[in-house]
């Protein structure tokens, strides 16, 4: 007989696969939101530099959230 704990990682992975596309789409919308804000505030912006800054801040935010959720 299999224990519930043995099945759990597999179940979470299956569930994650079901939602992976939506997670990517949601993060892309977040990036696009801040790209638009940067464009409004600074019309002559260096888009590549702005993209790097936005992505770096999103990564930092994810690290903070991870630390709070997982300790």
Q: What is the pLDDT of residue 1?
A: 43
Percent residues over pLDDT 90 in the chain: 69
Distance of alpha carbon 61 from alpha carbon 71, whole angstroms: 15
Per-domain residue ranges of the chain: 4-70
For residue 6, the model assigns a pLDDT of: 58
User: How many Cα atoms sit within 13 Å of 3 on the Cβ side?
Assistant: 3
Euclidean distance between CA atoms 10 and 2, whole angstroms: 12
Q: What is the pTM of this model?
A: 0.75
pLDDT band at 2 (very low <50, low <70, confident <90, very high): very low
**pLDDT tens, position by position, 23-47:** 999 999 999 999 999 888 888 889 9
The values of phi and psi at residue 60, to 5°, are -60, -45
């Amino acid at each position: 007989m299999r224990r519930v704990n043995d099945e759990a990682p597999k179940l979470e992975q299956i569930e994650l696969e079901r939602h992976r596309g939506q997670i990517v789409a949601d993060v892309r919308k977040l990036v696009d939101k801040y790209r638009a804000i940067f464009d409004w505030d600074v019309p002559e912006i260096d888009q590549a530099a702005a993209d790097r800054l936005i992505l770096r801040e999103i990564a930092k935010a994810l690290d903070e959230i991870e630390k709070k959720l997982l300790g």
